Amino acid sequence: MTFDHDDHETAQHPVTLTGRTVLDSRQAKAGKVTDVLFADGRPDWAIVKTGPLRGEHLMPLRHSYVDADGRLIVPLDKADVQHAPRIGREHVLTTQTRRELSDYYGVAP
């Protein structure tokens, strides 16, 4: 899975995703990116805080992009993000979390 970046992203000026508002496929606010997990040097999974009491959830960055207003647009529904597997404070993908992500999204992390 890879984050679909635009031509403005370079090795010297990568697109920063942390802190960006996440909008779902209907332009509804799904949360805010608090961290990004990388695979092979590329953004692969976003950790999204979906609300003050809802915790942090993992969301794949595949087919996501940053719009002209700086928001991260994802091909998911808000509910998909809110019900996604959670991640611990350390933001480490455990074997159990990988299994949950595979079951939930149908992809291997």
Pick the CATH number of 21-105 from 3.40.50.1100, 3.30.450.40, 3.90.50.10, 3.30.70.1530: 3.90.50.10
pLDDT surpasses 70 at 109: no
Other beta carbons within 10 Å of 84:
21
Encode pLDDT of 5-26 as tens digits.
554 444 444 569 999 999 999 9
Cα 51 from Cα 29, distance rounded (Å): 10
Residue 92 gets which letter from DSSP? -
pTM of the shown model: 0.83
Query: What is the distance, to the nearest Å, from the Cα of residue 1 to the centroid of all Cα atoms in its chain?
Result: 11
Domains of the chain by residue range: 21-105
CB 44 within 8 A of CB 2: yes
Encode pLDDT of 92-105 as tens digits.
888 999 899 999 99
With 0-12 / 13-18 / 19 or more C-beta atoms within 10 angstroms meaning exposed / middle / buried, residue 95 is exposed
Question: Two tokens at 66?
Answer: 């940053």
